[in-house]
């Protein structure tokens, strides 16, 4: 079968590898679509803090696949089922999943290409749930990549009032269309003063990975963006997270770190999508034949802001 590997820093390639064999406790899956997780995969590609420390390396955790074989211990799935898996096989033609893994059967009416982003959506759901967002909260979402835009939708689904901040006007407009109350372009540092003039935020979802903690928490007693007992969750990758102790103490900050997701997060995303509350479709910018994937990784390496939701289509295989 074919799989995508990062063979050296900044280089993605197709590598031929053995087909997996079905086990008694697993289903064998043929990939139909896989979703690109932009920041996580770029971090691996460029040897960041998620990198294993050696080449080759890879990652890929968003697959929409068809069950083509079931092991004898499988009870919940059958041949022909379409499943989403949130495991880590990398972008591959075939892979295995157990019933105890992060896996869910997709409804027949589901749009399958957009479902290939359910891993990122579930990460955002997990992040938002950890912060315990409610309808009483004023939420600030910083960074409007896929994680940020799905965090907007998850927060809105929980009834919160949402303000967003990013440097990309196109993504700010998407957030507005999804229901964000205020959208602030932070290209100009003065824009942070505008955010400070707003009522303080009860919860902040930091999805940018940028040097923004001094803006959020503040640099001295009481000059940040957060209300008393505010919750701040960081999900975007970074090697270090540094903040001012006095400023954090002044708002009695609750600090959380989030990564990946749980089965309940995945199921909630599927339910909300079927209800029309969560909308992955507007975030899918390109469905790309898998044989063109290497060019996508070149763009991810050199001009990552050009990419938002990218889905690889495996149905015709790799030429």
What pLDDT was estimated at residue 258?
A: 83
Tens digit of each residue's pLDDT (9 = 90 or more) over 190-222: 888 888 877 799 999 999 988 899 999 999 988
Pick left, alpha or beta for residue 209 (phi over 0 → left; psi -120 to 50 → alpha; otherwise beta).
Answer: left
Tens digit of each residue's pLDDT (9 = 90 or more) over 45-104: 999 989 999 999 999 999 999 999 999 999 999 999 999 999 999 999 999 999 999 999
Q: Where in the chain is the domain with CATH 3.90.180.10?
A: 2-117+280-313
**82-85 and 63-70 strand pairing:** antiparallel
CA–CA gap between residue 281 and residue 110 (Å, rounded): 11
Q: Residue 19 above 80 pLDDT?
A: yes
Mean pLDDT of 279-287: 96
Tens digit of each residue's pLDDT (9 = 90 or more) over 219-242: 998 889 999 999 999 987 777 889
Q: Where in the chain is the domain with CATH 3.40.50.720?
A: 126-257
Q: What is the CATH number of domain 2-117+280-313?
A: 3.90.180.10
Tens digit of each residue's pLDDT (9 = 90 or more) over 103-130: 999 999 999 999 999 999 999 999 999 9
Q: Residue 319 above 70 pLDDT?
A: no
- CA 186 distance to own-chain centroid: 22
Tens digit of each residue's pLDDT (9 = 90 or more) over 29-51: 999 999 999 999 999 999 998 99
CB 93 within 8 A of CB 37: no
Class of domain 126-257: alpha beta
Q: Residue 135 above 80 pLDDT?
A: yes
């Amino acid at each position: 079968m074919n799989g995508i590997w990062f063979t050296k820093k900044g280089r993605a390639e197709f590598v031929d590898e053995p087909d997996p064999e079905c086990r008694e406790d697993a289903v064998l899956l043929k990939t139909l679509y896989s979703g690109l997780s932009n920041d996580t995969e770029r971090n691996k590609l460029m040897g960041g803090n998620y990198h294993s420390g050696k080449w080759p390396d890879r990652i890929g955790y968003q697959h929409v696949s068809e069950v083509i074989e079931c092991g004898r211990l499988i009870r919940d799935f059958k041949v022909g089922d379409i499943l989403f898996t949130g495991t880590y096989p990398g972008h591959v033609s075939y892979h295995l999943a157990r019933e105890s893994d992060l896996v869910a059967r997709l409804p027949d009416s589901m749009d399958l290409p957009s479902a290939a982003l359910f891993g990122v959506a579930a990460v955002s759901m997990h992040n938002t749930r950890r912060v315990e967002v409610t309808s009483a909260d004023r939420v600030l979402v910083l960074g409007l990549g896929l994680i940020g835009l799905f965090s907007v939708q998850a927060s809105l689904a929980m009834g919160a009032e949402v303000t967003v901040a990013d440097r990309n006007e196109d993504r700010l407009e998407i957030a507005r269309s999804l229901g964000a109350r205020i959208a602030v372009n932070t290209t100009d540092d003065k824009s942070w003063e505008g955010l400070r003039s707003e009522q303080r935020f009860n919860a902040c979802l930091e999805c940018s990975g940028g040097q923004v903690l001094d803006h959020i928490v503040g640099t001295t007693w009481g000059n940040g963006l957060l209300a008393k007992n505010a919750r701040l969750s960081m999900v975007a990758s970074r090697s270090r997270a540094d903040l001012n102790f006095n400023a954090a103490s002044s708002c009695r900050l609750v600090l959380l770190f989030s990564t990946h997701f749980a089965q309940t997060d995945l199921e909630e995303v599927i339910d909300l999508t079927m209800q029309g509350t969560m909308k992955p479709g507007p975030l899918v910018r390109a469905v790309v034949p898998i044989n063109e994937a290497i060019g996508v990784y070149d763009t991810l390496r050199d001009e990552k802001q050009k990419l938002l939701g990218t889905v690889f289509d495996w149905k015709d295989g790799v030429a």
